[in-house]
A and B are shown apart, each in its own frame.
Chain A
Amino acid sequence: GEDVEQSLFLSVREGDSSVINCTYTDSSSTYLYWYKQEPGAGLQLLTYIFSNMDMKQDQRLTVLLNKKDKHLSLRIADTQTGDSAIYFCAEGANSNSGYALNFGKGTSLLVTP
């Protein structure tokens, strides 16, 4: 995870938009991912974007990719208290065993009423 950087904490008010940012270093990454982890639970795939795309929108989620700057962001519109969780950015990268995911440390999102 040391090659994928995220801010550790974000607090927003319910109803506002949240923007979580991520930078990665592997320019050969073909896919970039956003996962959500609720307390004590595993990871839920929220969305992913192919590296030749600039933007992907899925309901309240918008992913922006700036491949030149190796910057990825996740925007959550109309953030709800149920969106409070840790959000992990991940890049698809080649490891000893082939294609695997390299995660950032996660951004804790706190949504206040």
Chain B
Amino acid sequence: GAVVSQHPSWVICKSGTSVKIECRSLDFQATTMFWYRQFPKQSLMLMATSNEGSKATYEQGVEKDKFLINHASLTLSTLTVTSAHPEDSSFYICSARESSGRMYEQYFGPGTRLTVT
């Protein structure tokens, strides 16, 4: 149980285009989903917290107009990187917290590697 998937697992896009990444909780409902960014050999940095049916809360320094987050259902959150640039190339990982589970447990997706050329 508690499986989180991400799609796509790997994407290459041209500079200036937008890319959408999906995060799904497959066998549970997730009121809250989190989006992290990981640079090579670095830690995960929390970008934003997404709550179903409401606006996402962004961490300091994260541009909300550039990283659009939508959490339209209890099993799906999307992250859209708008007008992507090479510096946006990174590994994006989402996690989900069960609606009925303990608030301290998060389950992570396998990640999406974004390369912007």
Residues of chain A whose beta carbon lies under 8 Å from any beta carbon of chain B: 1, 4, 30-31, 35, 40-45, 48, 88, 92, 95-106
| Max chain B C-beta neighbours (<10 A), residue from A40, A42, A105, A106 | A42
Contact A106/B43 with A44-B108, A92-B104 known, Cβ cut-off 8 Å = yes
Contacts of B105 in A (CB 8 A): 45, 48
Cβ-defined partner of B104 (8 Å) among A31, A95, A96, A106? A31
How many A-B contacts at CB < 8 Å in the complex? 68
Contact A97 B111 (CB under 8 A): no
Is B59 part of the contact surface with A, judged by Cβ < 8 Å? Answer: yes
Contacts of A1 in B (CB 8 A): 42-45
Interface size on B, residues (CB 8 A): 28
Residues of chain B whose beta carbon lies under 8 Å from any beta carbon of chain A: 4, 6, 34, 41-46, 48-49, 56-60, 93, 95, 103-111, 113
Contact B108 A100 (CB under 8 A): no
Contact A96/B60 with A31-B104, A42-B109, A43-B93 known, Cβ cut-off 8 Å = yes
Q: Of all chain A residues, which has the CB nearest B103? A: A99
Contact A100 B107 (CB under 8 A): no
Contact A98 B49 (CB under 8 A): yes
A81 CB, min distance to chain B CBs, angstroms: 21
Contacts of B106 in A (CB 8 A): 45, 101
Contact B43 A103 (CB under 8 A): yes
Q: List 12 A-B contacts (CB under 8 A).
A: A4-B43, A41-B110, A42-B108, A44-B108, A45-B107, A48-B105, A95-B46, A97-B49, A97-B57, A100-B46, A105-B42, A105-B43
